[in-house]
Amino acid sequence: MKKLLLPFIGLFLTIGLLKAQIITPEEAVMKGRTILAPASFRQPAWIPSSSLWAWVDKDELYLLALDSDSAYTVLSLNDLNRAHQEQGLDSLKSFPFLNWTSGKQAWYQHAGSVLALELGSKSVSLKNSFDPKGEHTDIETNFYSVAFTRENNLFVSSRGTEIQITADKNPGIVNGQSVHRNEFGITKGTFWSPKGNLLAFYRMDETMVSTYPILDLTQIPANATMIRYPMAGDSSHQVKVGVFNILKQKTVWLATEGPADQYLTNVTWTPDEKFIFVAVLNRDQNHMKLQKFDANTGSLLATVLEEKHEAYVEPQHGPIFLEASGSRFIWQSERTGHNHLYLFETGKEEKVLTKGDWDVIEVIGLSDNQETLYLTSTGEDGLSRHLVKVSIQEELFNQITEKPGTHLCKVNLNTGDYLDFFTDLNTPRVISVCTPEGEEKKELLKSGNPIAKYDACEVRLLKFFTEDSVALNARLILPAEFDSTKTYPVLVYVYGGPHAQMVTNSWLGGADLWLYSMAQRGYVVFTLDNRGSGNRGKAFEQYTFRKLGDAEAYDQKLGIDYLKQQKWTRKDEFYVFGWSFGGFMTIHLMTQYPDIFAKGVAGGPVCDWRMYEIMYTERYMDTPQTNPDGYAASNLVSRIGKLKGDLMVIHGTSDDVVLWQHSLALQQSAVKQGVILDYMAYPLHAHNVMGKDRAHLHRTVGRYLGVK
């Protein structure tokens, strides 16, 4: 075994005599997450019920014990490929993602196979196989059964047999896939029971939803691929939850009550696999019922708790159960104004576990003895991320990390020790092993500055206040070799939509390398998180309810007014750029404050909320029928005539999120009103321009804004 001495330090050497450089769009895109990103570990993970943690580096697997000062390679990619060859399996090109079961065993998925790895013998064994063309795979670890889909139907490979669970022939019916357009924390469509005997799954009927053409430009003549797209105020799809018994090969359906177009979210099994909890949300999204169902019969047993709000309720996470039958559990809710944790027993709130003017971002997990819960919080400034430890039995919670910045921690749920992946405005990354009390045991990695050889720009975090004293966080990147006696053009990069946070106390303030490179080219680059954006509590996000765009633009202007007052900004060279909700905000700003911006670029913009999807739009705007004034006020198609500055609109022709029709309708309205727009289409790209073409996008935007 090869020994690796600690601490391991990732160095990026800088040669002082090198000429200063500017990051190119190609480097920002193709290297921004590799060699130009802060050094880190791949696949860092604590091994269950042990004091060992593992990671992968340069195609070698390392293990480290808490009481040791050195890590050892225990397996290489060559070792794995030899084991594959012995089993007649295809070779691996890179280290697979390992799912640990113990300090000696892990499993992984590869080309239609579920393989178990034995570290001691460096051998692999086949646990299951399934159709390699199957999609949406979901693997449980009791029998290594695999759920997967094929042509919108659901299958299971279990105990040596492939079982077809559904056989719907209508393409408008989809089984075993994510529903409700991935809202409400939904990321998949199958849910294995804890013991692997039952499989819950979504069945979505979209036959009542309007079809919409997405042009396939690879053919001559072009063809249209039809998708189902539920627009605000129209008919929505209908969802059911089925439960398939592997041994009986029988499906029962949960007996949900209420309208067929309600939302079924946060599907969660109790540990004894006898019951399923589902958060049932009405289409208005202002009344949620957490309901308990019998997994064997599908019958509704109880409504465990309810939440209502005059704006909206948005369940994102299922309950965390503290005992087998599910009568005692932890629930996340914004009921008190911030996302916090509550302990319930038999449907009654037992106690508040966390409270304060901060949000729970992520529940990391319960300790092995189920006495302590670990989570990540925002901290009261909204900019940081901290590790918090919560006692289940006592009314006590403690913030373990203290230093301002972003602490993304991986906790050993057996010992309470944790790995702290720390970064702040000026720290690329430091990884340390810490005690349960927060004391550093050893530093494992300290990244150097990955962009040290390039021109350096100063990044500042700012704070602005609304008339009612609400704090707004902002980021300012000053040009390389900034001189306050000179003047510079200003680029406002905006998003501003729900659930998003652009500004954090992390490396470069959370900015990507393209924005940093624009500052290297002589631009003051500014970003502000307005009201309506995420991780600042319910009142902050819901302030924009039924009137998207207005308050957001007002808040952005607070920061812009500050920049206008600075002697080092060119008042006639203010530019704005944003994508998706940020594209909407770009046009909204340029039409609400037409005298501010000389130029703007709006990518993939929502131009008419009436044409956007039901689940998202109706949460924040209600329906067009119940809020016609709100929809009219935010309609960019009708207000494009107010534009004074130059505007480029960019859209992917295969966009199935913000449909191409949005920007085409905007262009048509501009023509009718005599407004000249610049327009750029990216053929075959979906909602964003990805891959190497993204560098072309950045060059296009830069050129339009005056980059030489």
Pick the CATH number of 459-704 from 3.30.70.3190, 3.30.365.10, 3.10.290.10, 3.40.50.1820: 3.40.50.1820
pLDDT digits (tens, 9 = 90+) for 354-383: 999 999 999 999 999 999 999 999 988 899
Q: Please name the amino acid found at residue 85.
A: Q
- At 434-450, the pLDDT tens digits run 999 999 999 999 999 99
Helix (H, G, I), strand (E, B) or coil at 58: coil
The region, left, alpha or beta by phi > 0 then psi within -120 to 50, assigned to residue 561 is alpha
d(CA 165, CA 148): 10
Q: Can you list the positions of beta strands (E) in 500-595?
A: 524-528, 569-579
Q: Where are the chain's structural domains? A: 172-316, 459-704
Those residues with Cβ within 8 angstroms of residue 559's Cβ, 6 or more apart along the chain or in another chain: 462, 464, 472, 474, 492, 526, 528
Residue-level pLDDT at 18: 46
Identify the pLDDT of residue 350: 84
pTM of the model: 0.94
- The tens digit of pLDDT for each residue in 205-223 reads 999 999 999 999 999 999 9
pLDDT at 103: 87
Please tell me the predicted confidence (pLDDT) of residue 58. 87
Residues identified as active-site = 580, 655, 687
pLDDT over 90 for what percent of the chain? Answer: 91
What does the pLDDT look like over 471-509, one tens digit per residue?
999 999 999 999 999 999 999 999 999 999 999 999 999
How far is residue 479's CA from residue 568's CA, in Å, rounded to a whole number?
A: 11
pLDDT of residue 69: 77
How high is the pLDDT of residue 19?
53
What are the residues facing 187 on neighbouring strands?
Answer: none
Q: Quote the pLDDT of residue 4.
A: 37
Average pLDDT for runs of 10 along the chain of length 708: 35 40 96 96 92 92 87 93 95 95 93 95 96 96 96 94 97 98 97 98 98 94 96 98 96 97 98 97 98 98 96 97 92 96 86 95 94 94 96 88 97 95 98 95 95 97 96 98 98 98 98 98 98 97 98 98 98 98 98 98 98 98 98 98 98 98 98 98 96 97 94
- C-alpha–C-alpha distance, residues 10 and 430, integer Å: 10
* One-letter amino acid of 213: P
Q: Whats the size of the chain, residue-wise? A: 708
Per-residue pLDDT tens over the stretch 83-121: 999 999 999 999 999 999 998 999 999 999 999 999 999
What is the pLDDT at residue 6? 35
